Every structure is written in structure tokens, then in C-alpha cells.
Amino acid sequence: RKEVEQDPGPFNVPEGATVAFNCTYSNSASQSFFWYRQDCRKEPKLLMSVYSSGNEDGRFTAQLNRASQYISLLIRDSKLSDSATYLCVVYTGTASKLTFGTGTRLQVTL
Amino acid sequence: GAGVSQSPSNKVTEKGKDVELRCDPISGHTALYWYRQSLGQGLEFLIYFQGNSAPDKSGLPSDRFSAERTGGSVSTLTIQRTQQEDSAVYLCASSLGQGRSTDTQYFGPGTRLTVL
């Protein structure tokens, strides 16, 4: 089983739609959680951290369920510019590294 | 300010040759990471440097891979006797290194390595 699992998609949604991505992680000792965004042939960039209480940044909402070892990202009012691959990222505090999921691809269309 | 830079941006080499990939982290960042991303795969951790501490090499896939960081700044990833399965994008990231769980890692644009 992979340490971080995501549905690869692609998710094809029209502009203005709400879309949700899910992610599960296997290591219950994981400490910190993030969503990164990666545009085609570009480097990953931090989108937002994920906190237990849930957090929102504009149209983006992230949720964490530690009991189920599950992370989600909700995007409201999708824009064409949201088209990208969204990477679920987990930090376990060991081996000093982030563990990346393979990403979920989002394509927003007119 | 300047971000993480990597060179070359693209490298094509023949199987069996050695290659060197360079990373210049953000000035003042004490932590530096190397990852690789193969087609359709997630990012795979390779090695981590933090200040003057011994590097964490737990992700290096074989002894053909090595990396060094000189003067706590620039890092070089070396792949000896390259194989076709080494073809990937090699990404470098740096962070302030002040608290691992909350450090934001900033990635460079990557080096796309193709082994023929």
C-alpha cells in the first residue's frame, strides 16, 4: 500500500463548479499535511497547509480527519486557472522528508 | 527575491555516462532536498541536507547516486553509470530549516534527465 494515496483523475469540471479531492495516508504518526499544486511541466508549489480544525483560503477549503487518516481539498467556483495537478503531501517527522501522493489532475473547462 | 535555481534544465546522456545536476537554494535556507519525479509518478525523496549535519540519504535508490553540499549552499547530485530507468525530472527544494513540520519547501524548476 502506498503511503499517500490519491485518485489520479482526471477530474473534468465546468467553470464555476465545486470539486473535491480526497487523499488517504497510511502512517498514523504523520504530523503535518499539505496540498501542493503542480502545473504541467512546472515545479510543485505549496497551496495550503491542512489543520485538524479545517482551514479555508478563499475558494479553497482543506479538511483533515486523523481518525480516518483522510485529507480533503474542496475548490469552490472553479476557474480555468485552477487546472493543474493537486498533490497531497504528508510529513511524518522521520527521515526528514515529505511524502507526496501521485496527484489528482483537475481540468476546468468553459 | 531569487528562488531555487537548477542547472541544466535539460540533460540528455547516453547509458553508462555520469551526470552532475546542480542546485542553488534560496539564500539563507539551511535545508536542501533532492527529489525525482518519473512520468506519471509522485515525487520520490532522494536526500536531505540540514546545515552541517550528516545528510539523510535514506531515499537514494542505489550507490550510483550521491550528493554533496558545499559550504552549506550549492548542492550537486551525481549519478554514475546512468541507466534508462534514471530518466526523470530531478527536483531540488530548499527551506528555512527552522522547524521541519512547518517548513515550507520551495522547489526549483527541475532538471529533466533523459538517458538514451
Q: Could you report the per-residue pLDDT of A33-51, keeping only the tens digit for each?
A: 999 999 998 999 999 999 8
Q: Which residues contact B71 (CB under 8 A, 6 or more apart)?
A: none
Is there a contact between B4 and B32 (Cβ–Cβ < 8 Å)?
A: no
Q: Note the pLDDT tens digit of each residue in B33-62.
A: 999 999 877 889 999 998 888 898 989 999
Q: Does B104 touch chain A (CB under 8 A)?
A: yes
- The angle at the Cα of A103, spanning A101 to A107, to the nearest 5 degrees, equals 170
State the pLDDT at residue B47: 93
**A2-14 mean pLDDT:** 92
SS3 content of chain A, % helix, strand, coil (to 5): 5, 55, 45
Q: Does B59 touch chain A (CB under 8 A)?
A: yes
Q: What are phi and psi of A104, to 5 degrees?
A: -120, 125
Q: Does A46 touch chain B (CB under 8 A)?
A: yes
Q: Note the pLDDT tens digit of each residue in A48-95.
A: 999 888 899 999 999 999 999 999 999 999 999 999 999 999 987 665
